[in-house]
Amino acid sequence: MALKLRLLRNGLRRSPGRATVYVLGAVVGLAFAAGIALAMAMLNGRYAGSGDAGVMLVGVLALGWTAIPLFLFSSDESADPTRLTMLPLRPGPLLRGSLLAGLIGPGPLVSLVLVTGAALSGADGAGSAAAAVLGMPLTVICLVTLSRAVAAGNARMLSSRRGKDFAIFGGLLFALLIQVANIGSQSIFGRPGSQLDLSPLKPIASVLRWIPPVSAMDAARTAGEGRYGLALLQLAAAGALLAALLRWWRRSLQELMVTPDSSTLEVARGVQSSRGWGFLPAGRTGAVMQRHLRYAWREPRAKAAVFTGIGMTLVVCVLSLVQGWASVYLLAAAGMFLGLQMLNLFGMDGSAFWMVAATLLTPSDARDELRGRAYAVLSYAVPVTLVLGLVLAVVTGDWAHLPAALGLALALLGCGIATGATLSVLAPYTMPADSNPMRNAAPGQSGLVLINQFGSMFGVALLALPVGGYLGWALTTDNPTWPVLLLGPLYGALAADAGIRLAAGRLLERTPEILAKAVER
């Protein structure tokens, strides 16, 4: 507990800006939670099934607390038990201190406010008040214990490279689930302005209210209905879950204390000779392409960038299909997002860029370096674009416009490579090499990030204007659109080659500045 307070205090003392953001975030979070809690309390007595809404709220809250350590394991140093196992403490005191530390911060306080609102949504009378006094803190303690037990039970995996990869995939899946939940809520409750109907929640809530820790909160509603025995049973179920979680947590801590880490058991091994991939181009271009693809598969930050681009495209396509405005021309988003994987190439390398800089001796070396990275991006961007185009055509049935959509997407892909290569040389920014893949820039470089992210999209759209303009003219005048399938790839290839040559011409003279950005922390 003292360690958590010390970490919190030292973190806020780093800079006034960080402390301000933390305080403002906590205030906004509490205000948002208070608004939800007030809305839940106002449902009581006005709508049938208001208690079901409270059950669903706590169920979502429990799911969130379970997922937090899986996706954001490294965001809280005190939540990583591997940092604490070397302290001269037995598992019991370490567990109690970790639990108290977990109850400190805005998260548990926001959860308590939300659980209070959920309990008020179904409360009625003095019996509900008595059950709520026991049930609300018990629910919050169960949530925190659940999160810490999950973190301790999966500490080895979450602190490894595979754990960071899991966090990346989980974050993308979480973004997709948010869109699915948004669509589902609209289908259940209707559009804004329609009459609120909570009856669709009843089948799910009738099962969920008996599952701890949701049962501890729902005990207030059960006691308000005069079923005191069932309310005690719900509280007892939450207590049993808490005891089981504490036992699991303690066993995990003890195992971490007495089990050596696998890295300490490895013996020194000779450096394995790397073998080239036979299908890659010869020379420096093929070597750079192989290195870039290995980074994209193994390095968490590079993998996050690749799968974020693919994930954003899939989210847009799925959302359009569900809401009924899908079009085969959504393939253009895939071309843009995947082409912009060329952004900030050298900032992604970090301090390893000095090895690249040491080998850039001639303009030909610079062109081969950028060309190899562009080929690596194309090696996965083109197949993804083609497969997604076929899927959109099958779903929408618009096979007639598939050639034009593919041509436009490939044109945007080439323009994205040209823009990304140019900005990688002219506006690189530092990407911290820490354990949190969600941090995409060092402090003080927000302007460069905005130039890369938003300026690049504007630049790609402007650069691809000739192809887009011809397609728009063809669609409005009923002229054939199939020539875009020939014009788009050709234009995209020319734009990519011109962008790479332009960037390579400036790469040699800007190598010192790029190296300074790459190693900056």
Q: Is residue 274 part of a domain?
A: no
Question: For the chain, which residues score pLDDT lower than 50?
Answer: 263-276, 435-439, 443-444
- Domain count for the chain: 2
- Residue 271 inside a domain? The answer is no
- What's the confidence (pLDDT) of residue 348? 76
Q: Do residues 373 and 288 lie in contact, with contact meaning Cβ atoms separated by under 8 Å?
A: yes
Report angle CA 81, 84, 88 to the nearest 5 degrees. Answer: 140
Contact 147, 69 (CB under 8 A): yes
Per residue in 418-457, is it b (16+ CB within 10 Å) or e — as a string?
Answer: bbbbbbbbbbbbbbebebebeebbbeebeebbebbeeebe
Taking the CA atoms of 240, 245, 251 and 253 in sequence, report the sign of the dihedral they define: negative
Same structural domain for residues 420 and 510? yes
Distance from C-alpha of 65 to C-alpha of 103, rounded to nearest angstrom: 13
Does some domain include residue 276?
no
Report d(CA 309, CA 416) in Å as an integer. Answer: 12
| Residue 269 falls inside a structural domain | no
Distance, CA of 406 to CA of 389 (rounded, Å):
7
Q: Please report whether residue 268 resides in a domain.
A: no
* Structural domain range at position 351: 284-519
Query: Distance (Å, rounded) from C-alpha 42 to C-alpha 50?
Result: 9
Confidence at residue 25, expressed as pLDDT on a 0 to 100 scale: 77
Are 365 and 240 part of one and the same domain?
Answer: no
Does residue 255 sit in the same domain as residue 292?
A: no
Rounded to two decimals, the pTM is 0.59
**Rounded distance, CA 100 to CA 140, Å?**
12
92 CB burial (10 A radius; 0-12, 13-18, 19+): exposed
Both 238 and 292 in a single domain? Answer: no
Residue 335 to residue 381: CA distance in whole angstroms: 8
C-alpha 211/C-alpha 214 separation (Å) is 6
Residue 146, burial from CB neighbour count under 10 angstroms (0-12, 13-18, 19+): buried
233/175 Cα distance (integer angstroms): 36
Exposure string over 246-273, b if 16+ CB within 10 A, otherwise e: bebbbebbbbbbeeeeeeeeeeeeeeee
514 in any annotated domain: yes
Q: Are 475 and 341 within one domain?
A: yes
Label residues 28-41 b or e (16+ Cβ within 10 Å = b): eeeeebeebbeebb
| Rounded CA separation 406/399 (Å) | 11
The tokens describing 502, both together, are: 């332009």
Based on the domain organization, do 255 and 289 belong to the same domain? no
Q: Which two tokens stand for residue 41?
A: 């309390």
**What is the distance, to the nearest Å, from the Cα of residue 206 to the centroid of all Cα atoms in its chain?**
32
Domain annotation covers residue 266: no
Residues 226, 344, single domain; the answer is no
The pLDDT of residue 11 is: 60
Considering the domain architecture, whether residues 412 and 501 belong to the same structural domain is answered as: yes
Pick the last residue of a domain from 218, 245, 260: 260
**Is 179 inside a domain boundary?**
yes
CA 358 to chain centre: 35
Q: Which residues contact 150 (CB under 8 A, 6 or more apart)?
A: 66, 69, 70
Residue 53 and residue 41: Cα distance in Å, rounded? Answer: 10
- Nearest residue to 68 via CA among 18, 105, 13, 97: 105
pLDDT value at residue 179 = 59
Asked if residue 327 and residue 256 are part of one domain, the reply reads: no
pLDDT of amino acid 436: 45
**Encoding tokens for residue 134?**
């026991």
